[in-house]
Chains A and B, each alone.
Chain A
Amino acid sequence: MKQLLKGNEAVAEAAIAAGCRCFFGYPITPQNEIPEYMSWRMKEVGGHFVQAESEVSAINMVYGAGGAGARAMTSSSSPGVSLKQEGISYIAGAEVPCVIVNMMRAGPGLGGIQPSQSDYFQATKGGGHGDYRMLVYAPSSVQEAADLTYKAFFRADYYRNPVMILGDGMLGQMMEPAQIPVAVDVNKLPKKSWAASGNNGGKQRVINSIFMNPDTLEAHNAHLTKKYEEMKKLDTMFEHYRTDDAEVVLVAYGIVARICKAAVDMLRDGGIKAGLFRPITLFPFPYGELAKLSDNGAETFVSVELSCGQLIEDVKLGLFDSKNRPQVGVFARVGGNVMKPEDVAEYIKAGRITQSWIK
């Protein structure tokens, strides 16, 4: 049955459905509905909710619970997610599965509380130190927020790696009818042979990210890299919208992709062959698909984003493999402002495509 849910509520309930029984968080707008929801819902399902004393503390609780084998999650918004970066790096190094939600707000610094996508680099290029990657899902509707959060727990366990849900304030606050995936039976989830969950005198299990011997660490890095390579093969997700014969391709993710869908329809009504390419995973990024679109004749690619030219860098990397050299530009609103479909359509119609977001 469909319910009218906020994006934040859908994320929280989908996590419960996926068997998440440990939630640790610290309040920050615009994601507060997630911890608020978890604070009463965890009690109902016999799970654990802790409002930690800080984001640093919350992410380390996730490290502990995940290391003990639980499906664990934390959520925050941009400044709070910055505080979690050290923990995320440790979790990736120690190969602990978990889910981290970032409902982005505008930055840098404390910035503002309105929607933004300015943590793109932080999420996709390793916001913490060391060579690590996370699967990064970018839902563009409340339904997809539920579906991808649910999926995130399974992929996190499969890879023993953190997975990030990268949304924004608008997705978190908006409501749409959505169906929560069918709940798993937590007791029937596969046992984790590596988890530090007590072994009755058997071989000691260690969850750790320290490797003092360079050769050992190099081998560990190679092992991690293999996982990231596998993610590229198995987990890349994207959506095409009216790109078949598109001459102008908008590239956008999350809520901005929705705005661009309406813009594409407006442009098509005005006789411009426009389409939308939407990465659903930001890591792994669907580079190859962009090159294909260019090879098939798309002449202009415009990154539409709520950041000062971050997504455009991956658009350019993708197009590097094309045999053609299409025009690339960026259309952005930042600071918490959000473009309207008409703004995007007018930018394309004006034809002054540039690689700087400043007009």
Chain B
Amino acid sequence: MKQIIVSGFGGQGVLSLGLMLSYAAMKENKNTSFLPSYGPEMRGGTANCSVVISEKEVASPVISRPDLLVAFNEPSLARFVPALNEGGRFFVDSETAKKEYLTKSNAVAVPLNELCGNNKKGHNIAMFGAMLGFTGIKLESAEYAVRQVFKNKPQFIDANLGCLHAGVDFARKAGLK
């Protein structure tokens, strides 16, 4: 079972990254739950979602201790890094995260801007690619998930698949799991 929290400012693609994780898991016939935060905190404040991926039935969609954390901003790091499970990893943008986080042994720093060719809208997808190896999700399921989440915006699918592959390549070259 993998328990994942994705967190950041509203507009950073936090919820769509979580949704892609669930779509990809469903594609592999795994059990999954996607639990978004909702309400006023999404407007300008911090949005987050909890995703569980499991071979067995998902018990709690509410996560006590995440195995994986994606944190796109400072408040998310402060809130969720201390909650990480033993052996848990967290993924951050290497450009924007503070040094105190980047130097932690369980940090995975991803150069999102570089991977996306300065396309900020692709950051969440590049992160999806970079973390894929830790989730047990296959690349083709991830591609399916990108197509699902962007099915109403088909003009962005190719660029987003590019960001996904850039993230996957980064993880491979960096020797990540």
Contacts and interface: CB of A to CB of B under 8 A. Distances in A.
A173 B41 CA distance: 15
Interface residues of A, number: 26
B64 interface: yes
B109 interface: no
Interface string A2-15: 10100000000000
A258 B38 CA distance: 19
A255 to B, nearest CB: 7
Interface of A: 2, 4, 29-30, 113-114, 169-170, 173-177, 255, 258-259, 261-263, 265, 338-343
A255 B59 CA distance: 10
**Which secondary structure characterizes the binding site on chain B?**
mixed
A261 B26 contact: no
Contact of A341 (B36, B40, B60): B60
A29 B19 CA distance: 21
Interface stretch (B27-35, B112-120, B152-160, B169-177): B27-35
Contact of A169 (B38, B59, B63): B38
B31 A262 contact: no
A-B pairs with the 7 shortest C-beta distances?
A: A262-B60, A261-B59, A342-B64, A262-B59, A175-B34, A340-B64, A174-B35
Contacts, number: 73
B34 A261 contact: no
Nearest to B35: A174
B116 to A, nearest CB: 25
B36 A174 contact: yes
B69 to A, nearest CB: 15
Interface string B30-58: 01111110111000000000000000001
Contacts of A175: 19, 22, 33-36
